[in-house]
Structure 1
Amino acid sequence: MGGSRVVSTTRSSRSYAVVTPRAGDTPQALALRYLDDARKGWIIEEFNGVETLSPDSFVTIPLMPLYRGGLGEGGGFQTVPVLVYSAFSEQTSDVFSMKRDRFRAQLQYLKDNGITPLTLEEFVRFIEFDDHIPERSVLITIDDVGQNTFEIAFDELQRFGFPATVFVCTDLVADRAGALSWERIRTMRDAGMAIEHRTKTLRNLARRMGGETLEDYIINVDRELTVASLTFQAELGQRPSWLAYPFGTMNEAVVELLRKNGFRGAFTMEERVSPFFVDNYAIPRIRMPGDISMDAYAEVMRFGVDAAERGTMVDGLQAAFAAGDDDPYAAVVTEVMARADAASAEGQWIRALELYRIAGTLNRRAPGVRRKAQEAKKNMDARAAELLAKARSARDGGDRAAARDAYVEALRYDPSPEVAAELKAMLSPPTHRELTLTQSDTLRRIAEREYGNPGGEILLAKVNNKSVVDILEPGEMVKLPILSEALAQRIEISLAPVAQAAPVAPAEPAQEEMMTEPEAEAVEVAIQETPADRITPLLSMARLQFGNGLYETVVSITNEILQLDPDNEQALEIQRESYYSLAEGFISDGSNVRAMHMLRNLPRDYRATKELTGKVQQALDKTSEPLYLQGVNYYINEELERAVDSWELTLQANPWHKKARSDLEKARKLLEAVRGL
């Protein structure tokens, strides 16, 4: 009994799968079947130069990332624009708010021009050198938690099937008109949107607020991160890993606190595109004002495209495929080997190796395929080692630009995650240095010596997972975060109010160094803004949140306005009202220390500030004085450790106690002397 023999047209190896599509197969269906991710259909389309599949043809599927980090075979490297939207509107477009139809037109532009919006995780795998992404890619991020993020942005993104990342300031989430609720945030999360962190109150993390000591600043910044993360955990069942810096600003201490709290990175507002070697804690984003023209938008999208030459390897091979033959790939193997040999003869080792791997996938017994692949790999390894040595020499000689170029070329030949991490470490500005402890060191003494401010012991304790009372071991290494002089500036504690003290700004050179990667390309179509362009929407936001009772957020927003215009009466008035309302709330809750912090930012003659301050001071004295006297008793009886403990508790109960702080310093020094330190 006769019959035709069924010939399998599927071939596979560790590097490739070669298959004949079934009827109805799409690149996305094959990507799901072979790569476990339908979104990777672009890999099949790009590598084979096809958009639709035919059962009469074959498809080559790379099973391993070919262009890790966006490195092409012929040179260059890929960059990704990260866009940030601040607000959305049905009716108006201005410098702050994006109208629905304009947003839709931008998304249509992406679709029409083959530009792929990435998920956050896809972008992360790209910058961490774990994977490749479509040749033309963009990351869309949203910093708004108003209702229009759901009703407009999410609606339009769903229309196109595009992902985005929404950064959430937790204090602004609410079940009220105009706000975004946790229920809607969960809906977006379940639809594939990434939901990440934008602090608790939207405070500027890079500056100390008026009257804020260094200790207060570190504690408050840490609270902005940790309290919001707990809210995320409660509402979404997971902690966020990525942060959008409010107002785009940061400093080295903030980065160290992010690392301590488990964040993998953070986004700024710098108008640059991102290569894979971008600093994870200073990822630039390009602002999308509502009045941006389509020409300007198209110009942004042109950055980074076609920068990496990927080339094509399997074009023109379909004609050699003989479906139904005993070996339908025989002629294909012959052609692929010929291409590989030609590439090898020209020293194109990357191309040659991949072609040999494809030939070996089709026929493991093809003459010489294994040996030739090994020779190509050996040549690639030798070239990578040569380039890596050149990169390290340039790095050690201080030539970062030459070192970067050599590192990138080395990674093209040997895509080592360890070498990629070495490159990123070289390009990322340091945020701390290592310090070896000596016999006499305490955290407080280190802070006094290195920062000129003993309050820095709180930062040292947090980033090194220590308590301020821990006894340190000589020879142990600790992290010493970098602090600018402005940030480390001492503020003498007194009972006098510090009304309307300006926020302490970071030193500009240090901030610029943190924010700018000199090798990254700036986007030339930066939007021209005046201070008034920024102040108007900020004032509107401040009034809205004041009406919502979010007074801490109002203080953060008005601080930004007052940096732009210190004499802005509207901002000053709404900020004073917010401080006063916060003080009243804290007094009602019995939180007298926090109430006093608020009152000290107000003029004594503002409403009933003088009377409230006296009332709070009496409450603080009532709580703190017994603790202070207890410390005095311990000190007289030479129980120094107990005296220190009592006076520390005194200052927790009343940071403005007239004598506890100076007595505590005396007791600490005496205790160190007694211990032989």
Structure 2
Amino acid sequence: MRKRPTPMALVKYRLTCFLLILLAGCAGIPVEPGGKPGVIRGEEYVIHPAASGDTWASLADTYLRDKSKGWLIADFNKSDEIVAGQQIVIPLVHPNPVGVYSSGYQTVMVLCYHRFGPNKSKMVITPGDFDAQMAYLRKHDYRVIPLSSIHSFLKGEAALPQRAVVITIDDGYRSSYDIAYPILKKYNFPVTLFVYSDFLGSRDALGWSEMKEMIGSGLVDIQPHSKTHASMAKRLANESDEAYRRRVDEEIRIPSQQIKKGLRLPLHTFAYPFGESNEFMISQLKSADYNAGVTVVAGGNPAFAYPFKLRRTMIYGDRDMASFVRSLRVFTTENLK
């Protein structure tokens, strides 16, 4: 029985055939209309001779109509920099949107923070440590993406960068604005804040003005983390079935309404208090048109992860940089031949 070719083997085969046709001078491969000389377009790929001033973002803007997808071209060419004269191959359709290979599969890390301050503890990250962690992500070519980007990946509709990382911050402490937000702006990293609505506006919490300012930067998304931060996974003592259902409804509906009305943001992901969920909660989120729910179970998320039990890895303030680096598991090695 013949072995089935892997996705990347098929990509290499199609690309080789394409290049052989070019070298043979076959007619019918059109020069990019209105483009620079030497640019050649096929059905699945464009070959672009790099010029001075070209960037991954500018090429993505020209050929993919989305400058944010420069990573796709860089990953495909396995190159960090563009050199003038280099033949850049631009995939018009991603050859492997689910990130599954014969050697294993891609996983997207979702990092979970809580508070920031000068005195480190388990749940408090110092400004210096947070800055050092963000600097590490930048220096080692991790690509920080919005949480909302993961939904198409989980549906198999769109690829994500090979070293994709998501940053989330829970609860809605004001230190997210005072400390984390300036550092995230420094690195131009997007973040999702999960807030519970009863906490907002209190002494240590974010206010609506701070949240609106951060949203205006284009880097910050805000999603619900319940109304009171009480666990909904189990009924309370002496709580009737009807009372439990009403409580879950309020814990989901009230913060959702406040975010939609006060911040005019689309709702897509719910953070379970304490990371705990059950099938009834998930059914309620689905009925409310949510795309996903996030836990605090450590680990990465492959394309085949269940969207309503996405993993998040807690980042603790009393751990060192080596611990942070170990948490960045963006590929799971497994023989899938």
Q: Would you call these one fold, judging by a TM-score over 0.5?
A: yes
Higher strand fraction: Structure 1 or Structure 2? Answer: 2
Identity of aligned residues (%): 27
Look up the match of 1:185: 211
Aligned residue for 2:166, secondary structure, equals strand
2:326 maps to 1:296: no
Distance 1:200-1:239 versus aligned 2 partners, 3 A rule? farther
Look up the match of 1:109: 136
Q: 1:50 Cα deviation (Å)?
A: 2.7
Superposed, which structure 2 residues align to 1:369-380 within 5 Å? none
> Greater relative contact order (Cα 8 A, min sep 6): structure 1 or 2?
2
Two-structure CA RMSD over aligned residues (Å): 2.1
Instruction: Give, in whole Å, the separation in 2 of the partners of 1:67 and 1:201.
Output: 41
Distance 1:308-1:46 versus aligned 2 partners, 3 A rule? farther
- Out of 277, 302, 305, which is 1:250 matched to? 277
Q: 1:142 Cα deviation (Å)?
A: 0.8
Look up the match of 1:75: 103
Question: Deviation digits for residues 357-399 of structure 1, max 9, x if unmatched?
Answer: xxxxxxxxxxxxxxxxxxxxxxxxxxxxxxxxxxxxxxxxxxx
Q: 1:7 Cα deviation (Å)?
A: 7.8
Indicate if the aligned counterparts of 2:100 and 2:106 stay in contact, CA closer than 8 A.
yes
Look up the match of 2:18: none
Indicate if the aligned counterparts of 1:71 and 1:308 stay in contact, CA closer than 8 A.
no
Distance 1:181-1:266 versus aligned 2 partners, 3 A rule? same
Look up the match of 1:48: 77
Instruction: Give, in whole Å, the separation in 1 of the partners of 2:167 and 2:189.
Output: 9
Q: 1:258 Cα deviation (Å)?
A: 1.0
Unaligned runs of 5+ in 1: 1-5, 310-404, 410-677
Q: 1:291 Cα deviation (Å)?
A: 0.9
Aligned residue for 1:225, secondary structure, equals helix
Aligned residue for 1:61, secondary structure, equals strand
Superposed, which structure 2 residues align to 1:317-356 within 5 Å? none
Distance 1:79-1:7 versus aligned 2 partners, 3 A rule? closer
Q: 1:282 Cα deviation (Å)?
A: 0.6
Superposed, which structure 2 residues align to 1:16-415 within 5 Å? 16-72=45-101, 74-89=102-117, 91-174=118-201, 177-190=203-216, 191-301=218-328, 303-305=329-331, 307=333
Indicate if the aligned counterparts of 2:60 and 2:67 stay in contact, CA closer than 8 A.
yes
Q: 1:120 Cα deviation (Å)?
A: 1.3
Q: 1:20 Cα deviation (Å)?
A: 2.5
Superposed, which structure 2 residues align to 1:450-489 within 5 Å? none
Indicate if the aligned counterparts of 1:204 and 1:249 stay in contact, CA closer than 8 A.
yes
Q: 1:8 is matched by which residue type in structure 2?
A: P
Instruction: Give, in whole Å, the separation in 2 of the partners of 1:32 and 1:92.
Output: 44
Q: 1:227 Cα deviation (Å)?
A: 1.5
Q: 1:292 Cα deviation (Å)?
A: 1.4
Q: 2:167 is matched by which residue type in structure 1?
A: I
Indicate if the aligned counterparts of 2:114 and 2:173 stay in contact, CA closer than 8 A.
no
Q: 1:283 Cα deviation (Å)?
A: 0.6
Q: 1:104 Cα deviation (Å)?
A: 0.9
Look up the match of 1:8: 37
Indicate if the aligned counterparts of 1:70 and 1:126 stay in contact, CA closer than 8 A.
no
Higher helix fraction: Structure 1 or Structure 2? Answer: 1
Q: 1:36 Cα deviation (Å)?
A: 2.6
Indicate if the aligned counterparts of 1:270 and 1:285 stay in contact, CA closer than 8 A.
yes
Instruction: Give, in whole Å, the separation in 1 of the partners of 2:275 and 2:78.
Output: 40
Indicate if the aligned counterparts of 2:107 and 2:332 stay in contact, CA closer than 8 A.
no
User: Which structure has the larger Rg over C-alpha atoms?
Assistant: 1
How many residue pairs get aligned? The number is 302
Instruction: Give, in whole Å, the separation in 2 of the partners of 1:138 and 1:300.
Output: 11
Look up the match of 1:545: none
Instruction: Give, in whole Å, the separation in 1 of the partners of 2:82 and 2:123.
Output: 44
Q: 1:82 is matched by which residue type in structure 2?
A: V
Question: Deviation digits for residues 480-520 of structure 1, max 9, x if unmatched?
Answer: xxxxxxxxxxxxxxxxxxxxxxxxxxxxxxxxxxxxxxxxx
Aligned residue for 1:196, secondary structure, equals strand
Q: 1:277 Cα deviation (Å)?
A: 0.9
Instruction: Give, in whole Å, the separation in 2 of the partners of 1:233 and 1:130.
Output: 26
Q: 1:179 is matched by which residue type in structure 2?
A: A
